[in-house]
Amino acid sequence: MRGGGGAPGVPLLEAEAVERTYRMGGDVEVRALRGVSFRVDRGDYVAIVGTSGSGKSTLLNLIGALDRPDGGHVRYDGRDVREMSDTELAELRNVRIGFVFQSFHLLSRMTARDNVAMPLVYRTSSPKERRRRATEALEAVGLGDRVDHRPTELSGGQQQRVAIARALVTEPALILADEPTGNLDTRTGEEIMGLLEGIQADRGTALVVITHEPEIAGRAGRRIELRDGLVVADAVQIPTRSTPAAVAP
């Protein structure tokens, strides 16, 4: 789904009083999220920040429908993730949300093009069509000349570009990125952020970036801060970007 869809007034993503407790056996519990609420609208650019252990990755797993909350609700277009069938969940994770992780999560034995084509397997398009769209996505991230390379034959920044191409190939409504610059040097990290921002600006894709780096968080239009499993700030901000948003033509 593109940025423009959905019923008016209904947010793309809504977290309402979300709780998650890890039970460690015995009486030991970790209350990783203690009632987190926020909403993300179509085309938003939000940074979620917090120190290590504040609950960022736990929250990403919940809003990415990779894990279930113990309390509260996660909704997409007003629909509770709990009420979705396995097919709907698979569609949500594979088509409507694009994931970008710190460690890229590419399959090392596949070429860049086959990695990018993976999410399209859940749709009915033919192998030829999947290859065409994967190539197009790799061109959009500036890797049109690397389609047959495997991850080990690419730099860290290039691997993250492949992961971004994989995230955008289904034309998702939302890209969820967990520490996308964490394994990259400052300059490459800025390029990666510029690329994600270009997609958000040009395609109207909502962008949620989880980061502990203030410079990265400062680039977003809004900043949500987590502390000890609670939202302690949620405010619009004026982005400070040292590089202009850019995507390859």
- The site string for ligand ADP over 10-29 (x = CB under 6 A, - otherwise) reads ------------x-x-----
Contact 112, 52 (CB under 8 A): no
- The site string for ligand ADP over 86-105 (x = CB under 6 A, - otherwise) reads --------------------
HSE value, Cβ hemisphere, 13 Å, CA-based, for 31: 10
Q: Is 32 in the site for ligand ADP (CB under 6 A)?
A: yes
3-state secondary structure the chain: CCCCCCCCCCCCEEEEEEEEEEECCCCCEEEEEEEEEEEECCCCEEEEECCCCCCHHHHHHHHCCCCCCCEEEEEECCEEHHHCCHHHHHHHHHHHEEEEECCCCCCCCCCHHHHHHHHHHHCCCCHHHHHHHHHHHHHHCCCCCCCCCCHHHCCHHHHHHHHHHHHHCCCCCEEEEECCCCCCCHHHHHHHHHHHHHHHHHHCCEEEEEECCHHHHCCCCEEEEEECCEEEEEEECCCCCCCCCCCCC
Applying CB under 5 A, the span of 35-43, 55-63, 68-76, 149-157 interacting with Mg ion comes to: 55-63
When CB distances are held under 5 to 8 angstroms depending on the partner's kind, the choice from Mg ion, ligand ADP, none that residue 235 binds is none
When CB distances are held under 5 to 8 angstroms depending on the partner's kind, the choice from ligand ADP, Mg ion, none that residue 152 binds is none
When CB distances are held under 5 to 8 angstroms depending on the partner's kind, the choice from ligand ADP, Mg ion, none that residue 32 binds is ligand ADP
- The site string for ligand ADP over 42-81 (x = CB under 6 A, - otherwise) reads --------x-xxxxxxx-----------------------
Interface residue with Mg ion, options 57, 125, 183, 188 (CB under 5 A): 57
Which residues ranging from 178 to 237 are in contact with ligand ADP (CB under 6 A)? none
Residue with the two structure tokens 């590089």: 243
Q: Is 36 in the site for ligand ADP (CB under 6 A)?
A: no
Cβ 116 to Mg ion shortest distance, Å:
25
* Closer CB to ligand ADP, 54 or 135, in the complex: 54
Tell me whether residue 211 is exposed, middle or buried, using C-beta atoms within 10 angstroms of its C-beta: 0 to 12, 13 to 18, 19 or more: buried
Cβ 80 to ligand ADP shortest distance, Å:
22
Cβ 49 to ligand ADP shortest distance, Å:
9
When CB distances are held under 5 to 8 angstroms depending on the partner's kind, the choice from Mg ion, ligand ADP, none that residue 58 binds is ligand ADP
Residues near ligand ADP (CB under 6 A): 22, 24, 30, 32, 50, 52-58
Residues near Mg ion (CB under 5 A): 56-57
